[in-house]
Amino acid sequence: MRLVNCAVYLISCLYFGHAKAESGNSSNGNVLPVVLWHGMGDTCCFPFSLGSIKKLIMEQTNVSYVRSLEIGANIVLDYESGFFIHPNKQVDYVCKQLAQDEQLSNGYNAIGFSQGAQFLRAVAQRCPVPRMRTLISLGGQHQGVFGLPKCPTLSVSSCEHITRLLNYAAYEKWVQNDLVQATYWHDPLDESSYRLKSSFLADINNELYVNERYAENLNKLTRFVMVKFLNDTIVQPKETQWFEFYAPGQDKTILPLNQSKVFNNLGLELMNLRGKLQFLSIEGDHLAIPKEWFVKHLVPLLLESD
């Protein structure tokens, strides 16, 4: 499958500036470095997207090191990774990169954009060194998706092909291996296939078997912040951005997080009791955050220490 158009879907969303920010050599004072992971259809370094986010964070926090993750050796591979490199491979690659980054040795804060949010959560669960302190999830699909109404940056025909694969063959092994979005496709009408054949999300959510290390490592976070976009037309259901999903066997009623198995199995109940979970919401479509909201609600979280 070939990518057809490298269009600019996210240009109308969270991106405020037009100049690419450059990272410095060390963090400033007690302000921790920040790691960013882009979403589907974006890259680490477009100056109108994560480049401007880096600049904004550096201006507002005085932190001198913001690392926007690039998957692969160049921007083309990074872009394609959002569709065609299995998340397990991406997470493993990122874990090694972060472990080798001396500027993160004292810990870091992280912001994940869309699918980059659940990928960063997997980093926190699988690779606790260096330590992630605060994880901010912007529109992350933590219980997966069931629907793909829009397909940013791809041609109509490519988007339709991906949608058909997800609707009819998401749990085929070759689709799981070759299409990123299939790895967090969650069919509430076929929970058994999801748990048994999901090659990424069911694992990091402790839904096939309970990996106690995942829960322990996630609880090492100082804070887990989830931002939901109330008018989201891309993520279905939008409640997955708050770690909620359809009750099993249907696709209408949302099961509250505290009634789901993942709440206990992944240690989220304990995080909630410790005041580590924070749920924010904002009017607007997927990743459409005004600069003022970002500065008011998210920048202070990057300034706080343990």
- Of the candidates 152, 182, 166, which has an alpha carbon nearest to the alpha carbon of residue 287? 152
CA–CA gap between residue 47 and residue 61 (Å, rounded): 19
DSSP code at position 185: B
Active-site annotation holder among 38, 86, 142, 286 = 286
* 186 classed as catalytic: no
* 286 classed as catalytic: yes
CA–CA gap between residue 225 and residue 275 (Å, rounded): 11
* 155 classed as catalytic: no
End-to-end CA distance of the chain: 46
**Element (H or E) spanning 292, and its range?**
helix 291-293
Return all residues near 119 (Cβ < 8 A) that are at least 6 apart.
Answer: 37, 87, 90, 91, 94, 112
CA–CA gap between residue 37 and residue 119 (Å, rounded): 8
Degrees, nearest 5: CA angle 229-233-238: 50
Active-site annotation holder among 114, 137, 198, 260 = 114
Residue 156 amino acid letter: V
Catalytic residues: 114, 232, 286
